[in-house]
Structure 1
Amino acid sequence: MSTKTVAEKLGIKPGHAVHVINAPGDYAQLVGGLPEGAEVTATGPADAVHLFAEGKIELDASIKEAIDAVRPGGLLWVSYPKGGASDINRDSLWPTFTPYGWRPVRQISVDARWSALRFRPDGDVRGTGNRFT
């Protein structure tokens, strides 16, 4: 049985433009390599945007850039430190994105340090339940 790379879990596909914000170190290595033809870009619009935030101040400073960089139908992931090592967590991220009309739809583990939540525009989310609280 093969194990999916983090890039695969994030939904990054061959040829995707990936805009990364505040990534720690080598992003391609962190996600287990990018698919063929996928590349990290300095700006949007991008097929996938991956924002890393160590805390609320960094998140607040980068949230608009991240949302603005996502192509319609694109992927928006926000990574945050695991285990209460920060002033942000899974439950505090949702209200931060609510004023922008986005909500979480999926969570993954990136590595031993980072978790990630995927956000989608409210209008693109099926159902009305909140499975994260």
Structure 2
Amino acid sequence: MTPEPSASPFNIPADSRVTVYGAHGRPEAAEFVPAGAFLAEDDGRFPADVVILFVSTAADLAHELATAAGSVESGGVLWVCYPTAEIDGVTPDLNRDTVASLFETNDWEPVGDGTLNARWSAVRGQPTGI
């Protein structure tokens, strides 16, 4: 995986439909939510070209990955954002390799990663075989 530039980690084209999962009630994620993105409040499927999933733990990612991945339209990408520093007293159990492993068990592959800030990182994925 090649690190993405940190200034604009998602590199989302202006005409893209964007759905964000896991940002509600997470003020630290607000600065990373692209303007015009649809904020999904539940685990329903909200199709988009770019799907961004914020998770705090490996268990959250395992539980929410299928829904987020299922929302990515053909040719789209999924970004999984995870904490790299303690948040709300919880030490993170996620890292780039953990996210990559969960991608692979769901027929996705990691294709890039990036640092959002000193407390958050992200891994970009796409369906295996694209």
Place the TM-score, normalised by the shorter chain, in its bin: 0.7 to 0.9
**Which structure would you say has the larger RCO, counting Cα contacts within 8 Å and 6 or more residues apart?**
2
Structural mapping, 1:83-94, within 5 Å: 83=85, 85-94=91-100
Between Structure 1 and Structure 2, whose CA radius of gyration is higher?
1
Q: Which has the higher helix share?
A: 1
2:37 to 18, 39, 46: 39
Distance (whole Å) between structure 2 residues aligned to residue 32 and residue 89 of structure 1: 21
- Any conservation in 2 of the 1:11–1:75 contact (CA below 8 Å)? no
Report the alpha carbon displacement of residue 14 of structure 1 after superposing the two structures with TM.
Answer: 1.3
Give the superposition deviation at 1:5. 4.4
Listed as ranges, the gaps of 5+ residues in structure 1 are 125-133
Q: Does 1:105 align with 2:103?
A: no
Kept in 1: contact 2:85–2:120 (CA 8 A): no
TM, length-normalised to structure 1? 0.74
What is the alpha-carbon root mean square deviation over aligned residues? 2.4
CA distance in 2, matches of 1:102, 1:44: 18
Give the whole-Å Cα distance in 2 for the aligned partners of 1:120 and 1:12: 15
**Fraction of identical pairs, as percent:** 32
Aligned ranges 1:60-71 → 2 under 5 Å: 60-71=62-73
**Which position in structure 2 is the counterpart of 1:131?**
none
Q: TM-score, normalised by structure 2?
A: 0.76
